[in-house]
Amino acid sequence: MAVSRYATEYDAIVKTMQQYIDGGKQGKSELMRPAFHPNASFFGYAGGELAIGTAFLFEWIDKNGPAPDIHPRFVSIDILESIAVVRLEVDGWSGAEAGSGARMSDVFTLLRTPQGWKIIQKAFHWYS
Amino acid sequence: MSEADSQRETLESWKQIAAYLNRSERTVRRWEASEGLPVHRREHQKQDTILAYVHEIDRWSRRRTRTSVHPSSASDSESPRSAASDTLSWGHEPANNYLIEHDAITRTIDCYIAGGRAGDGELMRPAFHPEATIAGYCQGIEYSGSIEHLFDWVKENGPAPNIHPRFARIEIFETIAIVYLEVQGWSGKLAGTDSRISEVFTLLKRDREWKITQKTFHWHDT
């Protein structure tokens, strides 16, 4: 991929991811919904049970409320044509659902659609 | 039966082991491959002759039942590790746990590849979580939805015996993993000849097995 195109795609991916981060920080799923593809997948163990589906995620974000101290780190951003894979390490989660000081490893797959880069998949591991 | 008696008792075929554990042969073979079911092989024989000791099978079975299947339970993120070393106490060291997970993940992907090569969606089904989904682009058209679409596609495409997969990346984070696969040589009714696809799999660890929860693909134009 030509450097100029790489930078454009990279920045667009980060912009989509920022919508997700903002939604988490403010405890508002409506901020992060536009980042997700309508058929997005969501899987991960939360509090001992297996959580499946973006409806669970959005509800969790709204129930959790603001988490202003979350510190997300972009560990990797891989771009393979119409697919991108983003790894975030996030600590500092707080809120009604998260408790305090929780850390998560998040893996996102994004798809390059005509509407921009959209999260097609999120999986997470929650370190208790 | 006394302990001494069961120490001598052996099971001398997959059929006998399956009957003892009240499972199918396929299941007990899978348990040996991915969950440390203690089966000894008689290497000096020409055939695949195996031997299992009832007392070892019983011990494995007891440990398997006792271990929690919820990785993020109170015993925290260490429980997947302790679960693996629990069932593999016959000479395996905890330091190999990463490798054990790595191997289990590649076996799951191999199951997917086997299904693709055979043109048989049912053969690859066990590699996937029942609620898995697929998404991706082929010739500018987006496909996304239930993983059933993949199984139907594979069946309609027919066999692709020349698939050559290359693992470009395997990353493991306790209960989730991601695999990048570069696949060359897809052929068949729908695939054409010698197509190349980049595939990204997300996997989830469930009951000590890894299941694909989502597959994203990019079909390269020829």
**Complex ipTM value:** 0.96
Q: Which of A6-10, B58-62, B182-186 has the lowest mean pLDDT?
A: B58-62
First and final C-alpha spacing in chain A? 40
Domain that holds residue B179: 99-219
pLDDT at B44: 55
Instruction: Please report, for the domain that includes residue B105, its CATH number.
Output: 3.10.450.50
Percent of the residues in chain A that have a pLDDT greater than 90, as a whole number = 90
For residues B211 and B105, membership in a common domain is answered with yes
- DSSP three-state, residue A91: strand
pLDDT at residue B1 tops 90:
no
State pLDDT tens for residues B140-175: 889 999 999 999 999 999 999 999 999 999 999 999
- Say if the Cβ atoms of B216 and A111 lie within 8 Å: yes
At residue B31, the pLDDT reads 80
Contact A81 B218 (CB under 8 A): yes
pLDDT of res. B30: 74
Total beta-carbon pairs less than 8 A apart between chain A and chain B:
106
Name chain A contacts of B175, Cβ cutoff 8 Å.
Answer: 44-45, 125
Looking at residue A64, its pLDDT comes to: 96
CATH code of A3-127, in short, is 3.10.450.50
Q: Which residue has the higher pLDDT, B155 or B61?
A: B155
Residues A70-83 pLDDT 10s: 999 999 999 999 99
Within 8 A of B135 by CB-CB distance, chain A residues are 37, 39, 111, 120-121
B41 and B121 part of one domain: no
Same domain for B115 and B77? Answer: no
- How large a percentage of chain B has pLDDT more than 70? 77
More confident residue, B170 or B24: B170
| A105/B173 touch (CB, cutoff 8 Å), yes or no | yes
Residue B88 and residue B134 in one domain: no
What is the per-residue pLDDT for A100? 87
Nearest CA in chain B to A126: B72
Q: Give residue B184's pLDDT band: very low, low, confident or very high (50, 70, 90).
A: very high
Last residue of a domain, one of B49, B77, B97: B97
User: What is the three-class DSSP state of A118?
Assistant: strand
What does the pLDDT read at residue B94? Answer: 57
Token pair, residue A96, equals 């009604």
What number of CA atoms fall less than 13 Å from residue B28's CA on the CB side?
21
Same domain, B132 and B148: yes
- Residue B81: per-residue pLDDT: 39
Q: How confident is the model at residue B61 (pLDDT cuts 50, 70, 90)?
A: confident
If asked whether residues B35 and B123 sit together in one domain, one would say no
- pTM for the full predicted model: 0.74
* Chain B residues near any Cβ of chain A (below 8 Å): 70-74, 76-77, 129, 131-133, 135-137, 142, 144-145, 171, 173-176, 178, 180, 198, 200, 202, 204, 206, 213-214, 216-218, 220
Give the residue, B60 or B210, on which the prediction is more confident: B210
How many angstroms separate the CA of residue A44 from the nearest CA in chain B?
A: 8
pLDDT of amino acid B72: 37
Q: Which residue has the higher pLDDT, A1 or A27?
A: A27
Q: What is the DSSP string of B117-178?
A: HHT-HHHHGGGEEEEEEEEEEETTEEEEEETHHHHHHHHHH---TT-EEEEEEEEEETTEEE
In this prediction, residue B95 has a pLDDT band, given cuts at 50, 70 and 90, of low
pLDDT per position as a tens digit, A92-128:
999 999 998 889 999 999 999 999 999 999 999 999 7
Is pLDDT larger for residue B84 or for residue A53?
A53
Taking residues B44-73, what's their average pLDDT?
66
Residue of B79, B178, B196, B201 to mutate, interface with A, max A Cβ within 10 Å: B178
Min distance A90 CA to chain B CA atoms (Å)? 13
* Same domain membership, residue B136 and residue B85: no
Best of B148, B201, B202 to mutate (most A CBs within 10 Å, chain A): B202
* pLDDT tens, position by position, B96-136: 789 999 999 999 999 999 999 999 999 999 999 999 999 99
Same domain? For B164 and B110 the reply is yes
**Ranges of each domain in chain A:** 3-127
Secondary structure (H, E, C), B16-59: HHHHHHCCCHHHHHHHHHHCCCCCEECCCCCCCCEEEEHHHHHH
Domain termination site, one of B60, B75, B97: B97
**Mutation target among B176, B180, B199, B209 for the A interface, most CBs of A within 10 A:** B176
What is the tally of structural domains in chain B? 2
